[in-house]
Amino acid sequence: MRYSVKGGSPEKIVTECIVVSIWRNGSLSDEAKILDIKTKKLISGLVNSGDAIGNLGDTLLVYRPPNVSAKRILLAGAGDRKKFNASSAKKLIESIFKSCRKIGASSIHLCLSSCEPYDRDKHWFAARISQEAEVTGYSYDKTKSKKVKPWAIKGISISQEPRRQKKGLEASLKRGQAIGRAINQARELGNLPGNICTPTYLAQQANDLAFKHRKISSKVLSEKQMTRLGMGSLLSVSAGSAEEAKLIVIQYQGTKSDSKPYAIVGKGITFDTGGISLKSSGGMDEMKFDMCGAASVIATMGCIAELKLPINVVGLVAAAENMPGSKATKPGDVVTTMSGKTVEILNTDAEGRLVLCDALTYVERFKPRTIIDIATLTGAAVATFGSHANALLSNDQPLANAILNCGEQCLDRAWQLPLWDEYQPLLKSNFADIANIGGPRAGTITAACFLSRFTEKQKWAHLDIAGSAWLSGAQKGATGRPVSLLVEYLSQQKS
Ligand code: BES
Ligand code: MN
Ligand code: ZN
């Protein structure tokens, strides 16, 4: 898809669909006013007909408008002018692209420069437009025999005067496009079934990234190598599976090699049956999404390479399949982690923390400035936050604040839960240094408490994305979160 910035009067723009916005009180945006005059009050006629067309998210398509070069005009309701903020803008853009996709328009021109959200600038708005266009264009068909007809969209342009801002806005369109594509990549990996998207498949994705980007290198540790490193906890998860676990290391070098990196670590359970602590069968298919943290790491690494961020980043993926079997880990088994700490595995379904703890110990060797892990870790996070918030827990408040701010900025929001010492005793074990579960209460917090035992010396934050990473029901599918949050955070860091 091509994105561009066009100047000139809206009635002269040649496009399949020109989009202008209407406020809820019926007032026309500046561009809509121009089109209204040219079309001899076609638009104000519709607005004054009494039909409500200015509600946020509503759209109305006008075919073959007179005296205008565009084939169609799409009137997009923008809601209350005074309340038009970043979230409204997101909703407006989503509704526009959904309508355009439905009619199959192959070119679109957006005249929205007079309705920028009051809490963001032009560049944010432009990047959001291309991001949403990419995300709207995605559909899953990898494992369908009939392929979905792709959205035959060739070009999207936005209008902007004066011309001197063109370059900057085009850069923002590019940035949004890169983020949108990365979100789609994470969605695709999440949506792929567990019999295709195995630990080996994820490792291949990392190698593909290294092949594609000069500044990315990848390395995949086998079970044998992990045994040598003493990763008894990670390996306990894959013990019951025929699929070999992989620890995937992706390094992006965007600045001089001695600049300490930022680290992102993803949970990559390519299918979570629960192991011997077997899950109930209802809805178990959704546990193919248990690698969405890993998917967000892989997609983010590719995206920052495309954006050429001037920092170093290391992305780690702890990939394994959690299965029951004669060699599977049993409740009560005690394993030794790479850190030397022993863990009593009281529930084999609390496997995410078992793979992450060894990955978090391993990542120390890169001397990261900060570490963020991303994991579909607990059902309790779904119960607490539903699908809207990423749960955030951290041992470093400045880092937590940065993540909260970035989430607001890109609307991939996080909400912080406490990581107080008072919760730590819930992990007491009579037979090991620590138990892998903390009982039925405060599940998201005790899971983070477990991880915190392996990040004591680090500035570390944990994102539990169990609720945000995918949707259930009719819209079942991966959301690509929190790719935009991670990209936003890394974009704001310095080398
Ligand atoms: N992958 C699941 C968490 C999960 C559950 C995500 C439901 C999304 C929806 C994780 O491995 C898990 O099974 N967690 C257990 C932990 C418990 C045994 C302490 C959970 O949350 O039930
Ligand atoms: Mn589990
Ligand atoms: Zn899991």
Q: What pLDDT band is residue 449 in, cutting at 50, 70 and 90?
A: very high
* Dihedral sign (CA 344, 347, 349, 353): negative
Q: Is the pLDDT of residue 164 over 80?
A: no
pLDDT tens-place string over residues 384-436: 999 999 999 999 999 999 999 999 999 999 999 999 999 999 999 999 999 99
Counting ligands in written order, the one closest to the CA of 379 is 1
Residue 482 CA to residue 411 CA, distance in Å, equals 10
- What is the 8-class DSSP label of residue 130? H
**Closest C-alpha to ligand 1, atom 13:** 349
Which of 83, 80, 75 shows the shortest CA–CA distance to 53? 75
pLDDT confidence band for 151 (50 / 70 / 90) = confident
Q: Which ligand is nearest to the CA of 469?
A: 1
Atom of ligand 1 at shortest range from CA of 443: 19
CATH code 3.40.630.10 region(s) in the chain: 182-491
Residue in 108, 193, 92, 112 with CA at minimum distance from that of residue 152: 108
Evaluate if residue 480 carries a pLDDT over 90. yes
Where in the chain is CATH 3.40.220.10?
2-159
Which residue would you say has higher pLDDT here, 165 or 218?
218
Predicted confidence (pLDDT) per residue in 251-261, tens digit: 999 999 999 99
Report pLDDT for 49: 87
Q: Which of 353, 369, 413, 459 is catalytic?
A: 353
Helices (H), 110-216: 122-137, 166-191, 199-212
**Inter-residue contact 458 to 368 (CB < 8 Å):** yes
Q: Which atom of ligand 1 is nearest to the CA of 436?
A: 19
User: Which ligand has the nearest atom to the CA of 283?
Assistant: 1
pLDDT over 70 percentage in the chain: 99
pLDDT value at 377 more than 90 = yes
Instruction: State pLDDT tens for residues 316-364.
Output: 999 999 999 999 999 999 999 999 999 999 999 999 999 999 999 999 9
**pLDDT at residue 148, rounded to an integer:** 86
pLDDT bracket for residue 150 (50, 70, 90) = confident
Of 174, 219, 260, 279, which is the active-site residue? 279
Q: Which residues does 36 contact at the CB level (< 8 Å), separation at least 6?
A: 28, 42, 43, 44
Q: What is the whole-number distance in angstroms between the Cα of residue 322 and the centre of ligand 3?
A: 8
Alpha carbon of 274 to ligand 2 centroid (Å): 5
**Fold held by 2-159:** Leucine Aminopeptidase, subunit E; domain 1 (3.40.220)
Overall average pLDDT of the 46-70 stretch? 92
| Catalytic status, residue 353 | yes
Identify which of 138, 165, 164, 231 has the alpha carbon closest to the alpha carbon of residue 480.
Answer: 138
Ligand nearest the Cα of residue 436 is: 1
Please name which of 187, 102, 181, 182 lies closest in space to residue 149, comparing C-alpha atoms.
102
Q: Would you state the pLDDT for residue 389?
A: 98
CA of 287, closest atom in ligand 1: 1
pTM value is 0.98
User: Residue 163 above 80 pLDDT?
Assistant: no
Higher-pLDDT residue of 147 and 448 is: 448
Q: What is the mean pLDDT of the chain?
A: 96
Residue whose CA is at the smallest distance from ligand 1 atom 5: 379
Contact 75, 60 (CB under 8 A): yes
Reported as type and span, the H/E element at residue 77 is strand 72-79
* Pocket residues: Cβ below 6 A from ligand 1: 272, 290, 347, 349-352, 376-380, 382, 437, 443, 466
Instruction: Please tell me the distance between residue 379's alpha carbon and the centre of ligand 1 in angstroms.
Output: 5
Annotation says 279 is catalytic: yes
Rounded to whole angstroms, the Cα distance separating 439 from 383 reads 16
Closest-CA residue, ligand 1 atom 7, reads: 379
Task: Give pLDDT, residue 215.
Answer: 98
Task: Check residue 450 and give its pLDDT.
Answer: 99
Cα separation, 157 vs 137, in Å, equals 16
Question: Given ligand 1 and candidates 344, 349, 462, 481, which is best to mutate, with the most ligand atoms within 8 Å of its CB?
Answer: 349
Is the domain spanning 182-491 CATH 1.10.10.10? The answer is: no
What separation in Å is there between the alpha carbon of 444 and the centre of ligand 1? 9
- Of residues 381 and 152, more confidence is placed in 381
CA torsion 343→346→351→356, rounded to 10°? -20
* Cα 478 to averaged position of ligand 1 atoms, centre (Å): 17
Please give the backbone phi and psi of residue 249, each rounded to the nearest 5 degrees, phi first: -115, 120
Q: Give the model confidence (pLDDT) of 203-249 as tens digits.
A: 999 999 999 999 999 999 999 999 999 999 999 999 999 999 999 99
Helices (H), 292-435: 292-307, 352-363, 379-385, 397-410
Confidence of residue 60 (pLDDT cuts 50, 70, 90): very high
For residue range 166-204, what is the model confidence (pLDDT) as tens digits?
A: 999 999 999 999 999 999 999 999 999 999 999 999 999
Kind of pairing, strands 72-79 and 17-23?
Answer: parallel
Asked if pLDDT for residue 465 goes beyond 90, the answer is: yes
Give the pLDDT confidence score for residue 307 in this predicted structure: 98
Q: How confident is the model at residue 51 (pLDDT cuts 50, 70, 90)?
A: confident
275 alpha carbon to ligand 3 midpoint, in Å? 10
